[in-house]
Amino acid sequence: MAAEAGPLAQFAIKPLIPIHIGSINASYTNSAAFMTLAVVLVSALILFSTRSASLVPSRWQSVSELAYEFIANMVRDNAGQEGMQYFPFVFTLFTFVLMGNLLGLIPYAFTFTSHIIVTFALAAVIFIGVTLIGIVRHGIGFLKLFAPHGVPIWLLPLLVPIELLSYCIRPFTLSFRLFINMMVGHMLLAIVAGFAVTFGIFAIFPVAVDAALILLELLVACLQAFVFTILTCIYLHDALHLH
């Protein structure tokens, strides 16, 4: 009960539409609902801003074009021109994570990017995807990624296991970075907001701190979406170019 009423209550997953298939609980939850909302909002923004595209862009068209150019430049700078064939996936990934982070800043909303199962699922898809791209593109030569060119042969028995371990932990570091940053930030907001209730007439102080934290969380929400996406581009570069 304490957890339900405390700062952890905002992370509780609650079934909205109970669905049970045998022993499998496939209920439609508040987390799934906000993921759906994120997809709908991003899709609506893109469709609305491009349905009447003109040479002189409107405000909304400018937003979508800036987002397009921002992600396109990120892909080209970090994965090379060859990486542009995967631009639709990278663009979708960035907008989905960013919208999820921003939705979580709305009071009483649910931050699905603060759950490790969500961030790890995204990271696992990225890890498996870039690994398959590397294998399909280079075949057995993909193993050269773990033995950089120019390294002395006598160092390979030490270097290859380190490189392999570093490669295999990518989905964990990628998912934990986003999950931890979003969870800790929202917990801090809830804790400081709780002080406002107990401080009475002096509640203005924790409220002011919370307002500052919200601005900081807004920056963190955008930054974490950027970091998640740029690391994806770097992993894609490794799969395409092996260096």
Helix (H, G, I), strand (E, B) or coil at 22: coil
Q: Do 137 and 79 form a contact (C-beta atoms < 8 A)?
A: no
Helix (H, G, I), strand (E, B) or coil at 162: helix
Write out pLDDT tens, residues 97-141.
Answer: 999 999 988 888 899 999 999 999 999 999 999 999 999 999 998
DSSP notation for 84-95: GGGHHHHHHHHH
Write out pLDDT tens, residues 165-200.
Answer: 999 999 999 999 999 999 988 888 877 777 766 766
- Enter the tokens of residue 174: 């990628």
- Of 67, 82, 123, 96, residue with least CA distance to 221: 96
pLDDT at 2: 41
pLDDT at 202 over 70: no
CA–chain centroid gap for 70, Å, is: 16
Average pLDDT over residues 85-90: 95
Instruction: Find the range with the poorest average confidence among 9-13, 86-90, 235-239.
Output: 9-13
Q: Which distant-in-sequence residues (6+ apart) come within 8 Å of 124 by Cβ?
A: 171, 175
Quote the CA–CA distance of 233 and 76 in Å, as a whole number.
9
- Of 239, 197, 241, 236, residue with least CA distance to 6: 197
Please provide the size of the chain in residues.
243
Q: 242's torsion region: left (phi>0), alpha (psi -120 to 50) or beta?
A: left
- Enter the tokens of residue 138: 């280079």
φ, ψ at 17 (rounded to 5°):
-125, 100
Write out pLDDT tens, residues 28-67.
Answer: 999 999 999 999 999 998 888 877 766 666 777 788 888 8
Helices (H) and strands (E) in the chain, counts: 8, 4
Domain-by-domain residue ranges, the chain? 55-241
Quote the CA–CA distance of 85 and 234 in Å, as a whole number.
15
- Of 196, 38, 174, residue with least CA distance to 110: 38
DSSP assignment, residue 188?
Answer: H
Quote the CA–CA distance of 179 and 101 in Å, as a whole number.
10
